[in-house]
Structure 1
Amino acid sequence: MMTHPALLARLVEEYERESGLRAAGPQGPLRQQMEDVVYTLCVSTGTRDIEAALAAARERLRTAWPGEPGDVATARDCRTLNGAAG
């Protein structure tokens, strides 16, 4: 079973956003959210570390949508069409 590209795009976006917030200063709840995102990315991509998970997710996104690798705007549009908050 393969993870839907919209979910992968959301996870990558969330990881990148939380990485930036974490760099600004450690926060308790943010740490748990980051661990959850890392775990979900690894499980979703069948990998064991975040770098491999990000590489696998980006490759999947590159082949899932035409255009730029991991086209975030397209991913956002897809989530909006499916009724998810973006």
Structure 2
Amino acid sequence: MLLAHPALLADLVREYETLHALDADEGGPEARRRLNDVSYTLCVATGTRDVDSALVAARHRLPGARVHDDSLIGAARPRTAARLSGV
């Protein structure tokens, strides 16, 4: 799958958030059309089918996004086991 450049995704997310904050879906036909266009483009660029999933996927690919790291959970297990054993 081709991946959109993070700069494009950042621009799309910013434009979607701006249009959404301005209630473009309740505005005139041009505002609604632009919101629909940006939503569709976000979905295509992220390979998703709805705008909420597209926003999550786009934000995940933006600079500074971090993948969830659960390595701390694994590190906590030995301490928990040591407390349970009385050590």
Q: Tell me the TM-score normalized by structure 1.
A: 0.68
Cα separation, 1, equivalents of 2:25 and 2:42: 23
Task: Provide structure 1 residue ranges, at least 5 long, that are not aligned to the other structure.
Answer: 70-86
Deviation at 1:24, TM superposition (A): 9.2
Q: Is the 8 A contact 2:46 2:57 kept in 1?
A: yes
Q: What is the aligned-residue RMSD (CA, Å)? A: 1.7
Q: TM-score, normalised by structure 2?
A: 0.67
Q: Letter of the 1:48 partner, please give it.
A: R
Give me the whole-angstrom Cα distance separating, in 1, the residues matched to 2:40 and 2:25: 22
1:6 aligns with 2:24: no
Give the number of the structure whose alpha-carbon radius of gyration is greater: 2
Runs of 4+ aligned structure 1 residues displaced above 3 Å come to: none
List gaps (5 residues or longer) in structure 2. Answer: 66-87
Partner of 2:46: 45
Give, in angstroms, the shift of residue 27 of structure 1.
1.7
Q: How many residues align?
A: 64
